[in-house]
């Protein structure tokens, strides 16, 4: 059974960097594609970005320049860094799996973490 669990600080100061980790169990992280998705309070879901099997990344254009997604294969973990945060970055952040293969992503998410609320405030 694939399980994902987000962790990281729940409070980040404005202008600082938000850093989250997603621990993946039940699946080797190098076999699939992984995304971060967020939901601001009272709002809808927003795709943050993804990392491919090849290590290539894609990011939401609205966040480009501030976001980095990476993997640590030795720890089977996915990471998110979002720089220069503002109150608008306050959200529940989810990590999720795209069950695609080496032939490509399937563009849906079949396993999700429970989410981590990150509040940006001084």
Q: Which residues bind another protein (CB under 8 A)?
A: 35, 37, 44-47, 50, 58, 60-61, 94, 106-110, 112-115
User: What is the Cα Rg of the chain in Å?
Assistant: 14
State the nearest-atom distance from the C-beta of 26 to another protein, in Å: 15
Return the number of the residue (90 or 109) whose C-beta is nearest another protein: 109
State the nearest-atom distance from the C-beta of 13 to another protein, in Å: 26
Q: From 110, 92, 118, 113, select the one nearest 33 (Cα to Cα).
A: 110
- With beta carbons less than 8 A apart as the criterion, state whether 53 and 30 touch: yes
Q: From 84, 83, 85, 53, select the one nearest 71 (Cα to Cα).
A: 53
Return the number of the residue (16 or 63) whose C-beta is nearest another protein: 63
Return the number of the residue (19 or 60) whose C-beta is nearest another protein: 60
15: which 2 tokens?
């202008």
State the nearest-atom distance from the C-beta of 44 to another protein, in Å: 4
């Amino acid at each position: 059974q694939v399980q994902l669990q987000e962790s990281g600080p729940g409070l980040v100061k404005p202008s600082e960097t938000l850093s989250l980790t997603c621990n993946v169990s039940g699946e080797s992280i190098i076999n699939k594609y992984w995304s971060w998705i967020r939901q601001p309070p009272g709002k809808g879901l927003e795709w943050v970005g993804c990392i491919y099997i090849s290590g290539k990344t894609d990011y939401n254009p609205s966040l480009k320049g501030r976001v980095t997604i990476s993997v640590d294969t030795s720890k089977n973990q996915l990471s998110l860094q979002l720089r220069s945060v503002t109150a608008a970055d306050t959200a529940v952040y989810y990590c999720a799996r795209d069950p695609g293969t080496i032939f490509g992503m399937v563009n849906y998410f079949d396993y999700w973490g429970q989410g981590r609320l990150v509040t940006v405030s001084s």
